[in-house]
């Protein structure tokens, strides 16, 4: 048997083997959805995302959609921002945001940290913004009663299932948990603890909200992951 014959036989054997395996997979999929109610989990879309059609007044990038080119960055053009089917409805301009990690959200509320280094700054900690009136968002309170909320860096996260807002102290041991279930505009503090040896940098909840994973800063000890049990937030 020459090399081409070997390859042909191998290809036929592979196809023959895939047939029963695919049949078994389909059968297993049918069984998993069996019962009184059929499975309603949609199949994930695996195809390419079509290019968006931007509005006539939008300001878009010159390169690939969603990509800022080196020329746009070096020339300063990108500082004016780009938009595609995105319009400003309303805004609240406070005393400056801290960290490049975006704000956390719960219902009609947004939460973002301030840098706490400007001498003229009147309000410190995490700003709570009520955006129920999208044209006129306004601050309702400032979470400044824990070290974690005074300097959360990339750890400020909200879990919608548990209605919990949590953060770890940047380069420090503090960790705080707040409850937003009663009113997202006024989070209620549930816990303010210290995690021995922690020097937080980034983190996030597990999807069920029962656990928080806290990454460490390379300025501190680093090299490990703090896993916090939130089954009892207080």
pLDDT at position 116: 76
Q: Is 116 within 8 Å of 150 (Cβ atoms)?
A: yes
Higher pLDDT, 202 or 8: 202
User: How distant, in Å, are the alpha carbons of 66, 131, 163, 207, 223 from that of 85?
Assistant: 12, 20, 31, 30, 42
- Superfamily in which the 92-229 domain is placed by CATH: TolB, C-terminal domain (2.120.10.30)
pLDDT at position 142: 96
| Residue spans per domain, the chain | 1-87, 92-229
Name the percent of the chain lying above pLDDT 70: 80
Higher pLDDT, 110 or 2: 110
Name the percent of the chain lying above pLDDT 90: 56
Q: Looking at 3-7, 87-91, 109-113, 142-146, which range is the least confident one? A: 3-7
Residues 6+ apart with CB under 8 A from 232: none
pLDDT digit string, tens, across residues 122-136: 999 999 999 999 999
pLDDT at position 22: 38
Distance CA 156, CA 176 (A): 10
Q: What is the pTM of this model?
A: 0.72
pLDDT digit string, tens, across residues 16-64: 434 443 343 333 344 444 445 556 788 888 998 888 999 999 999 988 8
Distance CA 15, CA 168 (A): 53
pLDDT digit string, tens, across residues 147-201: 999 999 999 999 999 999 999 999 899 999 999 999 999 999 999 999 998 989 9
């Amino acid at each position: 048997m020459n090399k081409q014959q070997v390859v042909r036989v191998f290809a036929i054997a592979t196809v023959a083997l895939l047939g029963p395996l695919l049949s078994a997979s389909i059968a297993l999929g049918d069984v998993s959805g069996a019962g009184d109610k059929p499975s309603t989990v949609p199949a994930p879309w695996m195809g390419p995302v079509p290019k968006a059609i931007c509005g006539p007044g939008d300001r878009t990038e010159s390169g690939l959609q969603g990509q800022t080119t080196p020329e746009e960055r070096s020339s300063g053009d990108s500082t004016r921002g780009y938009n595609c089917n995105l319009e400003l409805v309303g805004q609240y301009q406070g005393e400056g945001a801290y960290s490049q990690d975006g704000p956390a959200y719960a219902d009609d509320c947004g939460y973002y940290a301030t840098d706490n280094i400007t001498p003229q700054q009147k309000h410190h900690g995490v700003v709570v913004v009520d955006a129920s009136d999208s044209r006129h968002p306004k601050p309702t309170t400032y979470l400044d009663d824990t070290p974690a909320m005074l300097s959360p860096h990339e750890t400020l996260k909200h879990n919608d299932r548990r209605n919990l807002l949590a953060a770890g102290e940047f380069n420090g041991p503090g960790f705080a948990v707040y409850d937003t279930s009663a009113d997202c505009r006024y989070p209620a503090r549930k816990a303010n603890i210290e995690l021995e040896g922690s020097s937080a940098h980034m983190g996030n909840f597990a999807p069920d909200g029962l656990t928080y994973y806290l990454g460490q800063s390379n300025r501190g000890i680093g090299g490990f992951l703090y896993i916090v049990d939130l089954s009892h937030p207080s």
